[in-house]
């Protein structure tokens, strides 16, 4: 793990110094100081008071320099710190992993920071990686966790000449926002999937840019035709609903499991962080995946049930794997329309906040369409 130099200021010290610098440069503070000097500390300067008052209005504030600015001049194309979070399960981790690979391919230096307990198994060893405990799974209180987050971010920024911070999560941590105050020269980006946009205007205003990840960022092309199963081979289904949740449990997960139990026997793969016992699937063969986006068994799938995660949709449709996309009802209608346009050329079913009967019919269609090898998956 990279470390800053031994004489670095602590994060809290830098923040206090920045606030003190701001107060000392306010007009009221400088006016009070001028009057104190003129009448008490340096009365011989009293004849100059009118001229010094005029000069007060033309005072130019000198920006506060952090320890990193004092030691070196940051370039706009410095390192990129990508912060993936725990609140959205594997989805945030794998979105950030894909993004980091794009930047590395473009010759950029990337540093990863994660608050998820699953990140060690997902990220390449070639990428400098720093870990924080999941804020919901630690004995630290909120203030202690944010102080730890801030101190680690300062160490990373100082030691890696960071020029850009990309945060991928539903809400920015206080420790992250505090680092922006210490390093105002760093370009900051809040990245959100289109189906779960940022809505807090005050939090949005703390970032320099807001990026949206959706299907238009991916070129969907067919890698190879749908595979053909051998006689007697069990259908292999990915039950990826909950992929974008901390504990892997989504709104419709229990209902889908109930319906899958009533269908012909199959192999089912689920995200490793899904907090549900394999016994919940009855006698069905269950395997847990510690990664979805880069799992080599993707090519061996026959069907999938997933949330509207754009990276997963791209990977599955490119392989022509029959896929059921289940949304929660909060997604914008225009995004539903875009998904259904993708379904015109790919084996894709889209259900927006479905009830139990809609799920039963869709799953039946998904499985029967897959079993009839060579046929196009029927669409609802």
In a domain, 301, yes or no: yes
What pLDDT sits at residue 227? 67
Domains in the chain, number = 3
pLDDT of 339 higher than 60? yes
Mean pLDDT of the chain: 80
Residues 240 and 343 in one domain: yes
Q: Are residues 93 and 40 in the same domain?
A: no
**pLDDT value at 32 more than 90:** no
283 and 255 share one domain: yes
Side by side, which strands form the sheet with 348-352? 285-289, 266-271, 235-239, 303-306, 323-327, 348-352
* Judgement on whether residues 284 and 309 belong to the same structural domain of the protein: yes
Do residues 271 and 341 share a domain?
Answer: yes
Greater confidence (44 vs 255) lies with 255
228 in a domain, yes or no?
Answer: no
pLDDT at 58: 64
Q: Please tell me whether residues 36 and 79 are part of one structural domain.
A: no
Q: Is the pLDDT of residue 188 over 90?
A: yes
Most confident region among 23-32, 47-56, 195-204 by mean pLDDT: 195-204
Task: Round to whole Å and give the CA distance between 274 and 202.
Answer: 33
Residues 264, 174 share a domain: no
Considering the domain architecture, whether residues 32 and 133 belong to the same structural domain is answered as no
DSSP 220-278: ---SSPPP-PPTTPPEEEEE-TTTTSTTS--TTHHHHHHHHHTSSPEEEEEETT--S-G
Beta bridge partners of 349: 324
Report the share of the chain in percent with pLDDT over 70. Answer: 78
**Do residues 243 and 356 both lie within one domain?**
yes
What average pLDDT score do residues 333-360 get?
Answer: 88
Average pLDDT over every residue of 345-374: 79
| Residue 219 resides in a domain | no
More confident of the two residues 183 and 137: 183
| Residues 302/239, Cβ–Cβ less than 8 Å | no
pLDDT band at 370 (very low <50, low <70, confident <90, very high): very low
Note whether 168 and 50 are same-domain residues: no
3-state secondary structure of 357: helix
Same domain for 280 and 308, yes or no, is yes
Mean local confidence (pLDDT), 110-121: 84
* Spatial contact of 176 and 149, defined as CB atoms under 8 Å apart: yes
Question: Cβ of 19: how many Cβ atoms within 10 Å?
Answer: 12
Binned at pLDDT 50, 70 and 90, residue 308 comes out as: very high
Higher pLDDT, 356 or 168: 168
**54 and 97 share a domain?**
no
Q: Which domain holds residue 162?
A: 75-213
C-alpha to C-alpha distance for 333 and 39, rounded to whole angstroms: 69
């Amino acid at each position: 793990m990279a470390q800053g130099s031994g004489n670095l200021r602590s994060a809290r010290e830098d923040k206090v110094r920045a606030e003190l610098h701001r107060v000392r440069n306010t007009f009221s503070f400088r006016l009070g100081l001028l009057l104190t000097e003129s009448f008490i500390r340096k009365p011989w300067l009293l004849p100059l008071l009118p001229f010094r008052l005029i000069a007060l209005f033309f005072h130019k504030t000198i920006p506060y320099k952090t320890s990193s600015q004092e030691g070196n001049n940051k370039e706009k194309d410095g390192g990129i710190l990508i912060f993936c979070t725990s609140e959205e399960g594997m989805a945030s981790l794998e979105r950030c992993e894909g993004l980091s690979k794009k930047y590395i391919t473009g010759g950029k230096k990337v540093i990863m920071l994660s608050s998820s307990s699953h990140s060690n198994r997902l990220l390449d060893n070639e990428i400098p990686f720093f870990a924080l405990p999941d804020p919901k799974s630690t004995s630290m209180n909120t203030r202690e966790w944010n102080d730890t987050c801030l101190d680690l971010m300062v160490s990373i920024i100082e030691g890696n000449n960071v020029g850009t911070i990309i945060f991928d999560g539903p809400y920015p941590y206080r420790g992250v926002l505090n680092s922006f105050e210490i390093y105002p020269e760093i370009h900051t980006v809040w990245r959100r999937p289109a189906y779960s946009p940022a809505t807090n205007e005050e939090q949005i205003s703390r970032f320099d840019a807001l990026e949206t990840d959706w299907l238009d960022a991916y070129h969907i092309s067919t890698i190879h035709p749908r595979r053909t199963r051998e006689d007697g081979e069990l259908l292999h289904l990915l039950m990826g609903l909950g992929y974008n949740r901390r504990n892997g449990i989504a709104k419709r997960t229990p209902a889908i499991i109930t319906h899958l139990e009533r269908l012909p026997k199959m192999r089912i793969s689920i995200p490793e962080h899904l907090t549900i016992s394999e016994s919940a699937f009855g006698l069905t063969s269950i395997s847990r995946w510690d990664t979805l986006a880069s799992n080599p068994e993707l090519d061996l799938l026959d069907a999938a049930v997933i949330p509207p995660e754009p990276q997963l949709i791209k990977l599955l449709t490119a392989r022509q794997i029959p896929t059921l996309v289940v949304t929660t009802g909060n997604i914008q209608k225009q995004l539903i329309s875009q998904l259904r346009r993708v379904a015109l050329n790919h084996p894709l079913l889209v259900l927006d906040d479905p009830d139990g009967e809609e799920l039963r019919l869709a799953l039946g269609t998904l499985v029967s369409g897959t079993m009839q090898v060579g046929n196009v998956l029927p669409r609802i």
